[in-house]
Structure 1
């Protein structure tokens, strides 16, 4: 601002000075007439030649051009500085996204390993132990309260491990695909407090790539968890459909809502992780919600089908 004010003051001074000088012969005559009573001033004006006027104008224009060039270089410098700042910010954001994505991928890989180990090894061992115990009691016709309790404990441990394995990587998702798994997810999360309805225009037998289905399943699962924990909703609807090689998932609830304009401040909802997951799938993610207006929340996910 200081440089701009200085430049404007200089322009005013230069042009004011030029106006005080005679610009042509007619102007010289007028100055001569008006200064008849001041011979000394008239003599000074006679000494100013047209060549001197041209030189003064050239000097003024040169100074103005130099100042303009200075401002031009100054603005170019500031623009480049701003671009470099934006590039550094984008680079930092890209690194952060890569770190988050690496963490998510690692987590999903570990979940699959643990789920597979629990299902294929621990559950099999428990089932085998229960089978041998049943054969032994049947052959020896043993009726023992301790053995009955042991059977019940083995069965309970088997069911708990099966549930844990299912939460890590749902069996329905692996065997039958995303549509079956999401429908089952809605049924399992529905209770007397909230009802999740599921609808899909996509054929139930439709299968996508394993990674694509797994990522979308956990995204929807996390959003349903947010509805249960934070929305105070009684009803929620999940709908799926395909359009121009894109899968569109819409989730709507009738809860209290929140300020969707402050998503970055809402860390507890895990929305940043969801956004990163969707961005990795090259999709987009939008939320429509207003705090404490009881109009509910609508989430729209659109991802290209892989």
Structure 2
């Protein structure tokens, strides 16, 4: 009995000593759990903030990418529009040049036909009529004032038609070539107000393709007309050389000149026709001029083969 009591007392003593220890461990465990939960909540909050920041960066990059793509699209669109505009302008210019050149070619063909008709037919008929009239007056010993006036009128008409024929297609150009014709053009345009001087390093007897010579002759003739009408020059020189398989024509006058920056705005149909002719031969046409310092025109055209 005593032994049982002893055991009960011993068990109670052991149990009472262990209770505080378990209690402390429980409190520590609670604190650790609370700390772990706070740490977990803080980690989750930090992860949430990081996720928000990353989403903002992604959205910002996406917006920047859209803006860049928009500007790139706009740039390519404007570039394409500019190319289309330039292409349309080139097509219009080519069509205009073709129309001008076609008109010029037709005019030159008609010039040649009319000149040939006047020279070979009308002038020949007038010469024949004058000859028959001379024979008739000589055989019949007639010296009438009316016949003399008739002879004078026939001679005047003959000279007028010859001049018209020469203006349409100069006989020198057809028979002897460009150089002779241009030298004659200088002589015929020179007068007391203006002198045209001709110089060339090319042999005078050299001939080019007939169509090439005709076009160049009429180009120079038109430029001479512009100089006479507008330049107020006293002296004009024209020089011809062959250089690097090109024919170079330089025309220089000592007239009043003009501002070349405004040349294209002030160009009439005459200069446009000249540019069209030269461009057809794949040549170049430049004008260098200053007020009160005269004008220099340079034409470079590949030599025909």
TM superposition score normalised by structure 1: 0.82
Give the structure 2 partner of residue 193 of structure 1.
193
Q: Is the 8 A contact 1:185 1:221 kept in 2?
A: yes
Q: Distance in 1 between matches of 2:300 and 2:94?
A: 21
Q: Distance in 2 between matches of 1:278 and 1:174?
A: 21
SS of the residue 1:121 aligns to? helix
Give 1:196 deviation, angstroms: 0.6
Give 1:173 deviation, angstroms: 0.2
Q: Distance in 1 between matches of 2:265 and 2:69?
A: 45
Q: Distance in 1 between matches of 2:105 and 2:184?
A: 24
**C-alpha root-mean-square deviation of aligned residues, in Å?**
1.8
Which moved further from structure 2: 208-217 or 264-273?
A: 264-273
SS of the residue 1:48 aligns to? helix
Note the residue ranges of structure 1 that are not aligned, 5 or more in a row: 1-41
Q: Is the 8 A contact 1:226 1:269 kept in 2?
A: no
Give 1:45 deviation, angstroms: 6.0
Q: Distance in 2 between matches of 1:74 and 1:264?
A: 33
Deviations 1:22-41 (A, max 9, x none): xxxxxxxxxxxxxxxxxxxx
Give 1:185 deviation, angstroms: 0.2
Give 1:63 deviation, angstroms: 2.5
Deviations 1:117-136 (A, max 9, x none): 11111001000000101111
Residues 13-52 of structure 1: matches in 2 within 5 Å?
Answer: 46=46, 48-52=48-52
Give the structure 2 partner of residue 235 of structure 1.
235
* Alignment coverage as a number of residue pairs: 263
Give the structure 1 partner of residue 114 of structure 2.
114
Which moved further from structure 2: 175-184 or 259-268?
A: 259-268
Give the structure 2 partner of residue 223 of structure 1.
223
Give the structure 1 partner of residue 274 of structure 2.
274
Q: Distance in 1 between matches of 2:273 and 2:45?
A: 80
TM superposition score normalised by structure 2: 0.82
Give the structure 2 partner of residue 299 of structure 1.
297
Deviations 1:82-113 (A, max 9, x none): 11111111111111111111111111111111
Q: Is the 8 A contact 1:247 1:304 kept in 2?
A: yes
Give the structure 2 partner of residue 205 of structure 1.
205
Q: Is the 8 A contact 1:264 1:272 kept in 2?
A: no
Note the residue ranges of structure 2 that are not aligned, 5 or more in a row: 1-41
Give 1:51 deviation, angstroms: 4.1
Give 1:245 deviation, angstroms: 0.9
